Amino acid sequence: MPARVRTAVIPAAGLGTRFLPATKAQPKEMLPVLDRPAIEYVVEEAAAAGIDDVLIVTSRGKHAIEDHFDHMPELEAELERKGKSEALERVVALAELARVHTVRQAEPRGLGHAVSMAADHVGDAPFAVLLPDDLMVDDAALLRGMLAAQAEHGGSVVALKRVAPEEISAYGCPRVEPVDESLVRIFEVVEKPEPEEAPSDLAVTGRYVLSPGIFDALANVTPGKGGEIQLTDALELLGKTEPVYGWVFTEGRHDVGTPLDHLRASIELALDRDDLGPELGAFLADVVRRRDLR
């Protein structure tokens, strides 16, 4: 029986160039989605799936991430003194959400390279990788499904979202064969195919449960353009010696990696909230009417 997944790795050492200048002196992962930084949703997802050991891959200028998940005694004492018990509860809970560790990636040499920074911490066990550009609002259903599939079948499991044909050229797209209801076996991944050349309607998205074999694969892939080491190339290599599966899902993903996607996600998430949804909905309806957007 495969070892239990204990650690979630969250790569957060990128430059966030699609979000400049907001990300010049501030980590993209700390940009708020409503009232919480994006990375908080992701750490919460890991904890909800039963993973309380979190390793965040950071880089220069990303101290705010560590501080966010740490205790802040001055703030806690001040909130206590002022009787702001709800705010106090939230900041204390945040510091106790998971055991958060960090490791540095000295240069942004790609997602694959960022994941390879986790090798010492992870050791010889399967682990999860959660990209903070993708928020999953699904009570960790996707991640739990992937963990269960990995525990049953071994190997590695990649999250695959079923998308419309016109969307596929923005993603890695695998050639697959079905295993059971939600699980497929992946044979190769075509990067950003034209719709007519896409081998499936499935898009690789930012959740992975990986076998430790990925570290050897990462050490052996040739860097692609810009010297970047791609996680998909390493998965392709790993697939030659171990099974790589895909877990197919449709709902719950919000991309927050660009300003427009971030805005879309914020609106959808706010509409779902009792404290924000009704007023925002009325405001949006009014905007549509006033600007004749229909």
Q: Burial level of 47, CB count in 10 A (0-12/13-18/19+)?
A: middle
Nearer to ligand UTP, 79 or 204 (CB): 204
Nearer to ligand UTP, 182 or 266 (CB): 266
Positions in 213-252 near ligand UTP (CB under 6 A): none
Can you say whether the dihedral through the CA atoms of 176, 177, 181, 183 is positive or negative? negative
Site track for ligand UTP across 129-158, x = CB under 6 A: --xxx-------------------------
Which single residue brings its beta carbon nearest to ligand UTP? 14
Those residues whose C-beta lies under 8 Å from the C-beta of residue 141, and which sit 6 or more positions away, are 249, 252
The position carrying tokens 């911490």 is 121
Kind of pairing between the strands at 202-210 and 156-162 = antiparallel
- Residue 110 in the binding site for ligand UTP (CB under 6 A): yes
Can you say whether the dihedral through the CA atoms of 171, 260, 161, 65 is positive or negative? positive
Q: Measured over all CA atoms, what is the biggest interatomic distance in the chain, rounded to whole angstroms?
A: 63
Task: Kindly give the residue spans of alpha helices, DSSP state H, lying in the chain.
Answer: 38-48, 63-68, 73-81, 85-95, 111-116, 119-122, 141-153, 213-220, 231-238, 259-271, 277-290
Nearer to ligand UTP, 29 or 233 (CB): 29
- Residue 121 in the binding site for ligand UTP (CB under 6 A): no
- Residue 109 in the binding site for ligand UTP (CB under 6 A): yes
Site track for ligand UTP across 1-40, x = CB under 6 A: ----------xxxxxxxxx--------xx-----------
Single out the residue of 136, 236, 257, 265 in contact with ligand UTP (rule: CB under 6 A): 257
Nearest distance in Å: CB 113, ligand UTP: 6
Which residue ranges make up the site for ligand UTP (CB under 6 A)?
11-19, 28-29, 57, 105, 108-111, 113-114, 131-133, 257
